[in-house]
Amino acid sequence: MEDLIARLPSVLRANIVVNDWGGIEEIHVLTTLERTAKQVVRDVESALGAQWGIHVDHKRISVAQIRTDDIIKTRHFLTLREVTMDVDTIEGNARGTVELEPVDEQGVIYRGEWSGRYVPSQHIFVVANAAVQALNGLPELSGGLVLTEIRHIEISHRQVILAALSYMNPNGREELLLGTAVDPGDSAGTTAMALVDAVNRWMIRKDIERSDDPLLPLLLRRISGNPGADFDE
């Protein structure tokens, strides 16, 4: 539901709070000023009703609006250009390659490659390691990414890949990057998508933190459900 709401016009981020029974208690939406709060609320009501037949009282939907004159809206900074995996069944080896393309830099491609012993039950790690190699080519990361975990889970009767990366930032602090992707059956390609999603989320967060608007990072923490002590700043 959060993904659906986030795709609505002017929406930057959405967070849904549910009770112990799974009922919707609150829906928090962060938007730009392109649409009025009343329009956003109606969009959310219509989207949930049309997609799943869910009817939510408009009083449960809160909208926070921000100026975005100097802020990059939530978007995919990187797209997955190509994923390949070649298996030599005779030698028992495998080679994976991943190519990434920034959405705002034409002609720029980040390519990663990994080769090693092929273990059928661990085949997704061939592509995962190649994806990490490609992601480490980004100037913003400077080779600081390490693959932490790949997990295949089932949620709402759908298969999902959860990817975790560890990043040591220039200040010597370790950051956890998480990404997800719904698996339509190509688990290797989906794994690469989940890793790219983790980095895209991180880059979006960094853009917001660098914004000149002092309220934006605080609003982001609040809508993510983690206001913390920093909200007093």
CATH number of the domain to which 129 belongs: 3.30.160.270
One domain, residues 86 and 37: no
Helix (H, G, I), strand (E, B) or coil at 71: coil
CA dihedral 170, 205, 207, 33 (to 10 degrees): -170
Number of domains the chain contains: 2
158 and 124 in a single domain? The answer is yes
Q: What is the pLDDT of residues 160-203, one digit of tens each?
A: 999 999 998 877 889 999 999 998 887 888 999 999 999 998 88
Per the model's pLDDT, the better-predicted residue between 78 and 210 turns out to be 78
List the domain range (segments joined by +) for residue 14: 2-71+212-223
Q: Which residues, listed in sequence order, are joined to residue 121 by a DSSP beta bridge?
A: none
Alpha helices in the chain, H assignment, sequence order: 2-6, 37-52, 124-135, 187-209, 215-223
Q: For the residues of 91-112, what is the DSSP string, one character each?
A: TTEEEEEEEEEETTSTT--EEE
Higher pLDDT, 72 or 32: 32
Q: Which residue has the higher pLDDT, 149 or 211?
A: 149
**pLDDT at residue 231, rounded to an integer:** 36
Same domain, 67 and 132: no
Q: Which two tokens stand for residue 92?
A: 């028992």
Interatomic CA distance for residues 134 and 62, integer angstroms:
39
Same domain as 105, residue 29: no
**Per-residue pLDDT for 69 more than 60?**
no
Does 162 fall in a domain? Answer: yes
* Bridge partners, residue 195, by sequence: none
Is the pLDDT at 11 greater than 90? The verdict is no
- Between residues 16 and 225, which one has the greater pLDDT? 16
Q: Give the pLDDT confidence of 88-143 residue by residue, as tens digits.
A: 988 889 999 999 988 766 778 999 999 998 888 888 899 999 999 999 998 888 78
**The tokens of 123 are what?**
């085949």
For residues 188 and 116, state if they share a domain.
Answer: yes
41: domain CATH number?
Answer: 3.30.300
Q: What is the arrangement of strands in the sheet containing 61-65, beginning at the earlier edge strand?
A: 11-18, 24-31, 61-65
Contacts (Cβ under 8 Å, ≥6 apart) of 139? none
Token pair, residue 73, equals 């809206």
Q: Give domain status of residue 133, yes or no.
A: yes
Quick one: pLDDT at residue 74?
41
Q: What is the pTM of this model?
A: 0.60
Q: Is there a domain that residue 229 lies in?
A: no
Main-chain dihedrals φ then ψ at residue 91, nearest 5 degrees: -85, -20
Which residue is associated with the tokens 């190519």? Answer: 99
Q: Which amino acid is at 38?
A: K
pLDDT tier at 75, thresholds 50, 70, 90: very low
